[in-house]
Amino acid sequence: MIELTETHKHTFREDGFAIVEGVLDRETIEAAREKFPLLFKGQFETGLQPDEWNWHEGRDRDTLTRQICNGWKADRTIASIVLREDIGRACAELRGWPGSRINQDNVIWKPPGSKPLGFHQDDSYQDWIVPNEMMTCWITLDDTTATGGTIEYVRGSHLWPLAPPIGQFHAPDDALADLRPAAAGAGVEPEIVPIEVPAGSAVFHHGRTWHGSRDNKGEAPRRSVVAHCMSCDVAHHPSNVHPVYSRYRRQDDLSMDESFFPILWRQDGYRTAWLP
């Protein structure tokens, strides 16, 4: 059960991210790890494909970071993590929202030798929703190290302006290429903080906090499950279209469908009925 302290809230306000250890127990960590090879082979427990599936075994280079978006639709173990009520509550509390829905999840697998994910702001990819704001709970299934491809945050960068989507997200030659001009624009020397935490820890980050992960130079994989949330009150944008997620917009209706974007927690006690 995640209980945010005043220290977490203060750190989040100052830095744009806050670490909470002990979010997953050993059994859940093991259960989730076992799903990674199956998911990336296309063996989906529910029979449904995830919305995005960027690395297929046998098709893609081993050096790429492997990523699935909306693994919760394909797998109940992933769903049991990213659709947790306490994650929704913590995201809402940190942002002052009346509640949280899932926007999308990520299943991320960085084997030894795998390449970076470019530093970016999550909100740069959210122009299909109003307001275009996301809040993330990033959870590691492995102990993380600075050289082992862990997530890295730029302290205080949630207060910088919103930048456009970055030039190259997967395996860029220079993971910091888009961060540098953004930092120069903000008039600061970026302070990059690698997150070194035990398996089962979470980091909550603001949708504008610059972050990414560099090469995994270690001997062990780095696996994460990520819940990207949005406010429960969010709507589809009337004209901006996301090629994947705007498919869930109904004709002449901008409201979010709870079948695809369930409400994890709301301050009046509501939670999407089918979630249990």
Q: Which is nearer to ligand AKG, 202 or 249 (CB)?
A: 202
Q: Output the smallest distance, CB 224 to ligand AKG, in A.
A: 5
Which residues from 95-114 bind ligand AKG, rule CB under 6 A? 106, 108
DSSP 8-state class, residue 268: T
> Could you count the other beta carbons within 10 Å of the beta carbon of residue 67?
22
- Give the whole-angstrom CA distance, residue 259 versus residue 257: 5
Residue 151 as a binder of ligand AKG (CB under 6 A): the answer is yes
Residue 138 within binding range of ligand AKG, rule CB under 6 A: yes
Cβ proximity to ligand AKG, 18 vs 249, nearer residue:
18
Residue 117 binds ligand AKG (CB under 6 A): yes
Report the alpha-carbon distance of residue 204 to residue 76 in Å, rounded: 22
Residue 248 beta carbon to ligand AKG: minimum distance, rounded to whole angstroms: 20
Long-range (24+ apart) CB contacts under 8 A made by 121-126 are: 121/157, 121/162, 121/163, 121/207, 121/208, 121/209, 121/210, 122/205, 122/207, 122/208, 122/209, 122/228, 123/162, 123/207, 123/208, 124/162, 124/163, 124/164, 124/165, 124/166, 125/165, 126/207, 126/230
Nearer of residues 216 and 231 to ligand AKG, judged by Cβ:
216
Do 107 and 78 touch, CB atoms closer than 8 A? Answer: yes
Site string for ligand AKG, 39-78 (x = CB under 6 A): ----------------------------------------
Residue of 136, 157, 216, 272 interacting with ligand AKG (CB under 6 A): 136
209 scored as a contact of ligand AKG (CB under 6 A): no
The residues binding ligand AKG (CB under 6 A) are: 106, 108, 117, 122, 136, 138, 151, 211, 213, 224, 226
